[in-house]
Amino acid sequence: MRTLTIATERFPVRGAFTIARGAKTHVDVVTATISEGGRQGRGEATAVYYRGELAESVAAAAAAQADPIAGGASRADLLTLMPAGAARNALDCALWDLEAKQAGTSVRELLGLPPFRPLLTAYTISLDAPAAMAEAAAKVRARELIKVKLGGADGPAADIARMAAVRAAAPDARFVVDANEGWGGTDIARTAAALAALGVELIEQPVPAGDDGQLDGLHAEIPLCADESCHDRASLDQIIGRYRFINIKLDKAGGLTEAHALAHAARQRGLGVMTGCMLGTSLAIAPAFHIAVQSDYADLDGPLLIEDRDGGLKFEHSDVWPPAPALWG
């Protein structure tokens, strides 16, 4: 019989991670361990704050599935037993890990993916004053792809100044930016044009989720990417015609199972894909790697922004390496 164990762990943030909604000094993650026949599968999730989740609520929702898990509930069963979100992600990833171990294979092979290679990942610079962001950018100027948090309360003009300072400090890098819903009611086309001149390739979530109609008829020089506005396949109808990319996060989608299906559905509808992450350890990023290898952009730097768990992923130069079997999958 399968048994389920749920735990909550706290990991300090390196410095402070700051976005338009505030700063974090630590992250609480929820881990699920499913045991059967002497083998264990693990999954990790981080509460999606803009869904109203907390670590406590995620842990409780995951623990509530102990009886179905004991009864042999499958990943497909979880899609109907639970809504999308972090709790389902922890359980789904634990089941994938367990299934691969029981089958004597890897999750990569179960998904039919080709052999893995190291993958380029973005590295995130937190929202701050232009000078502070430039200083942060100078420290990572050798990185190939940098993600810049924008969406400050002082408006798009100040965000353009932030990006200009970052660009000057890291002149050879590629850039994507994340407005974190902060440009609602502003001239997004004008802001995009200014950012295009600074070499920005992609803009995440310029308007608040639910107010995506502001983007109807907008012609921006830089592709827009839906993050908070896209969680799972049910989100895609409101994306088409407004965004050209989606950001897939396993915590939003509710696990690798839905994330994999979402990536395929997005491609079928002509959307580009970024694979992102919440703040979390390498245990959370390992399954996300399986979606990132199918994506146009990877933003899997969560373990670099916190004090990661032992035995974590290898990061070298601008790349993240495939997970070792001892970690996950």
Q: Whose structure tokens read 């992102």? A: 276
| CA pair distance 212, 108, nearest whole angstrom | 35
**Residues that are catalytic:** 149, 249
Residues 141-195: tens digit of each pLDDT: 999 999 999 999 999 999 999 999 999 999 999 999 999 999 999 999 999 999 9
In the predicted model, what is the mean pLDDT of residues 205-211?
A: 97
**One-letter amino acid for residue 68 of the chain:** P
Residues 49-65: tens digit of each pLDDT: 988 999 999 999 999 99
Pairing state between β 119-120 and 39-46: unpaired
- For residue 1, pLDDT over 90 is answered with no
* CATH 3.20.20.120 domain extents, the chain: 119-320
pLDDT at residue 5 in the model: 98
- For residue 19, pLDDT over 90 is answered with no
* CATH 3.30.390.10 domain extents, the chain: 3-108
Which residues have C-beta within 8 Å of that of residue 15, sequence separation ≥ 6?
none
Q: Whose structure tokens read 């709790």? A: 87
**Could you name the CATH architecture of 3-108?**
2-Layer Sandwich (3.30)
| CA pair distance 133, 113, nearest whole angstrom | 38
| Fold held by 119-320 | TIM Barrel (3.20.20)
| CA pair distance 218, 215, nearest whole angstrom | 5
**How many CA atoms, within 13 angstroms, populate the side-chain half-sphere of residue 162?**
26
pLDDT at residue 22 in the model: 61
* The three-state (H, E, C) secondary structure of 221-248, written as one string: CCCEEECCCCCCHHHHHHCCCCCCEEEE
Three-state DSSP at 34 gives: strand
Residues 91-100: tens digit of each pLDDT: 999 999 999 9
Q: What is the DSSP letter of 322?
A: P
**How many CA atoms, within 13 angstroms, populate the side-chain half-sphere of residue 247?**
26
Report the share of the chain in percent with pLDDT over 90: 95
| CA pair distance 97, 209, nearest whole angstrom | 33
- Cβ proximity of 52 and 200 under 8 Å: no
pLDDT at residue 83 in the model: 96
In the predicted model, what is the mean pLDDT of residues 204-213?
A: 97
Q: Whose structure tokens read 């390496």? A: 321
pLDDT at residue 262 in the model: 98
| CA pair distance 291, 275, nearest whole angstrom | 7
Share in percent of the chain as helix, strand, coil (round to 5): 35, 25, 40
- Cβ proximity of 27 and 47 under 8 Å: no
Pairing state between β 123-125 and 119-120: unpaired
- For residue 204, pLDDT over 90 is answered with yes
